[in-house]
A and B are shown apart, each in its own frame.
Chain A
Amino acid sequence: MVFSSNIFLFAFLPVFLALYYLLPFKARSAWILLGSYALYAWWRLDFLWLLAGVTLAAYFFALAINQAVGPRRFQLLSVGVTLNLLVLAYFKYANFGIDSFNAAITAVGLQPFTWTPVLLPIGLSFFIFHAISYLVDVYRKEEPPTRNLLDFAAFIALFPHLIAGPVLKYNLLADQFRTRTHTLEKFSYGATRFMTGFAKKVLIADTIAPLVTASFGHANPTLADSWLGALAYTLQLYFDFSGYSDMAIGLAAMMGFKFPENFNHPYISRSITEFWRRWHMSLSSWLREYLYIGLGGNRKGRTRTYINLFLTMLLGGLWHGANWTFVLWGAWHGGILAVERRLKEASLWKPSPAWLTIPGTMLLVIVGWVMFRADNVPDALRMYRGMLGLNGVSLSDTLAWQVRPSELVTMLLAGVLVYVAPWWGRTVGDVGGRLLRPRLAVTATTVLLPLFVLAILKLSAQSYTPFLYFQF
């Protein structure tokens, strides 16, 4: 069940929220758990055991780690983390591993290994990361293990973040499960965020999607074809995923929870390092805390720091999906992060004007997104050939008829929003949150309301809109 669906919006959400507010505070964790499991089971009932199993394992392993002393603590952590990684490996990477193995052995004339493909449970990557971070935090004694299984299970399954994040640490929400406030202001804030995300997803991302599909499906894209597709995907992905994150944050706020932000105007970044401070921030935070630091971070010398940066992004890329495209995308970002770090340490990184660094960073990001979006590496290489103009320059007639004026206008508006939104944030409210232009804020909210209705109607007209990020 996706957030942008009639069943969620007009059946699940009103029933869930109505009972949530009718129930006493003590019963709300149980209701969250029940509601979240129901939402998960709507996809497939038979995979609910996996979610419950991962939850129970993390809960008991954390208690055991806390009680153990000496090397046994690390042993228990290792077993707990390994179990989670094995689950992830089997459900997410087994097909990829077998396919790659078969490709290698068939290349030397051997018979391929027969294998029934494994179905990837939705949200697996996220709830496995939640479980691992909890175990590591308990091991590091950053957070005592909870003895409240209900709260913990409700945290792992909390439906706003269950399917596509943000990636959260239990200690961020532990206190909020014990006590949190519910006010009309908070609910209204949540409603604003939810409606904003919904409109971003349905009105912008979904409108651009067919153009992206057409461009990436082109057999011999020209310079114009491939750049149009790459730019369209750059906008689609941002509005899709940040829209989803807005909805998640908004839904959580409607239940009194405060989630961390997941995006902070990533396309105004002036370096790839800055980009990762602004894009999918909860994931980059997780990767830093549990992977980069786990690999040794910057404590083992310069060379190891670069290698660690590279490996962190490489594995972060693989986390996004079992495909060589994601590995190469991760390597691309990891490599650039390492180079930027090196330049900075060698004092070769000179402050440059925004008109140079923002487009420069965007270029690197867009090149990366092409690999990220392509179905396979040869498809990505085909797009790159197009971007270099090796198949001609002007818009091809095989794509031209598929380019709809509404898509181009939406792209233009999306582009304007990407660069106006940061200015808007500074103009209407400062970083402390104080409203500088209350009237503008009221006007913007007033505009949002009919946009939300239009988005509902568009959703109904197009009936179904899967989220891009659900595959991860």
Chain B
Amino acid sequence: MTEFAQDTLKNNIDQPGTPAVLRWMPGAFLIAAVVTGAALTLTSKGARDFPKDQEVVTGKWAHTYETGLDAGVPFRDPAVKLWGTTNYRLFGEAREGALVGADGWLYTSEEFETTDTVTDAREVQKKLAFVREVRDALAAQGAHLIVAVIPAKTRVYPEHLGAYKVPAVKAALYEQFRESVTALGVPAPDLLQVLQQHKAQGNLFVRTDTHWTPLGAKIAADTLAKTVRETWPTLDLPEVSFETTSSAAPQKTGDLLRYLPLPAGEGPQAAEVHVPTTTQVGESGGGLLGDAEVSVTLVGTSYSAIKDWNFEGALKEALHTDVLNAADPGKGPVVPMRAYLKSQALKDAPPKLVIWEIPERFLRFQYPEESR
């Protein structure tokens, strides 16, 4: 079939007439590059960071060591910045995971991702089945459940997507899920419609972040409180007054900027947010020892857990009652709820109401911890 190419392809470098510089320059350059890289790599912290409790025989120790070494090489950050800048300047791209829209807006690629309609639908069905499970488990404890389905940022702000287009198969996802939750007898107000109606008041999602703004969180909290009052008019929540003040100085924010490692002043600039703080006003209703009973629990993701958005505070103010925050960031909506259902807090002091925040962007994801 073939003959060895060494018989037909000779090394130019061995032949007479080859410029002298080719006889030494590549070799010298490689040595210089490797020696410099070795000096930088082997003196880095990662090189001295030897893993503990890892199996050597199965290669796990080596893999862990190598991962640490890669993360610790001193040229990694400049390399990330160099390639980030190059890709942004030449192609207007962020690193994989974020998309650069128009007008300085960034979006997470999670809001565009689809596997296929069958697999995605199956995952959404699993989420719905879990909603039913949660509803029943809480009902057994005498607690009501309300779900806050947070619409995707792309859905609320499609006008800044630039050339990107969210796949059409996702068009009905928000409404379908919300209606399915409602059909289970669990109230799930249409936050998308409400947020769209309030866009004129200011940004409801952070331009350079995956999350909502404190204003978006407040509008959602007000809507949820209204739904609670309409759905369970006799629900007797211990009355506590709260008021919210915003920080005078704005705070720069934007988790999506991590995907755009650019020199200062270049590319979309971090959005600014006035971080609100909610505090109790006056005396609480008081329990046996003067502490107010907490009858509302908030379970959810980073939308609820990150203090800067003040969703918890906005709920306290809107519901006129204290709220226990059991949200856990970075694990999707299912894992924190599973943890809460197993928690001592639920057993010892079951609330009257549980607010479960489920962002639309997590509906098709299954976190590894969910199966545990």
Contact = CB atoms under 8 A, between A and B. Distances in A.
A435 B35 contact: no
Instruction: List the 6 closest A-B pairs by CB distance, nearest first.
Output: A433-B10, A219-B116, A261-B5, A188-B27, A457-B79, A191-B30
B79 A458 contact: yes
A405 B23 contact: no
A397 interface: yes
Contacts of A460: 70, 73, 75-76, 79-80
Contact of B117 (A219, A264, A428): A219
B233 to A, nearest CB: 45
Contact of B38 (A11, A194, A434, A453): A11
Contact of B42 (A11, A43, A189): A11
A435 B69 contact: no
A453 B109 CA distance: 30
A69 interface: no
Nearest to A433: B10
Contacts of A276: 1-2
B38 A287 contact: no
A401 B112 contact: yes
Interface stretch (A1-9, A130-138, A412-420): A1-9
Contacts of A457: 75, 78-79, 82-83
Interface stretch (B14-22, B223-231, B320-328): B14-22
A259 B80 CA distance: 35
Contacts of B9: 261, 264, 431, 433
Given A43-B59, A438-B19, A187 B27 contact: yes
B234 interface: no
B79 A461 contact: yes
Interface in B1-50: 1-6, 8-19, 21-31, 33-35, 37-38, 40-42, 47
B109 to A, nearest CB: 8
B115 interface: yes
Interface of A: 1, 5-7, 9-11, 13-14, 42-46, 172, 184-192, 194-195, 210, 217, 219-220, 258-262, 264, 273, 276-278, 281-282, 284-285, 287-288, 292, 396-398, 400-402, 404-406, 409, 428-429, 431-435, 438-439, 441-442, 445, 448-449, 452-453, 456-458, 460-461, 463-464
Nearest to B37: A10
A287 B1 contact: yes
Contacts of A404: 91, 93
6 contacts: A192-B13, A192-B26, A219-B114, A261-B4, A397-B168, A461-B79
B96 interface: yes
A67 B47 CA distance: 51
Interface string B98-118: 010000000001001011111
Contacts of A463: 70-71, 76
B26 A464 contact: no
Contacts of B264: none
Contact of B12 (A44, A273, A433): A433
Given A191-B29, A404-B91, A406-B93, A14 B57 contact: no
B57 A46 contact: yes
A449 B29 contact: yes
Nearest to A397: B167
B90 interface: yes
B66 interface: yes
A434 B17 contact: yes
B1 A431 contact: no
B92 A464 contact: no
A445 B18 CA distance: 12
Contact of A405 (B28, B76, B91, B109): B91
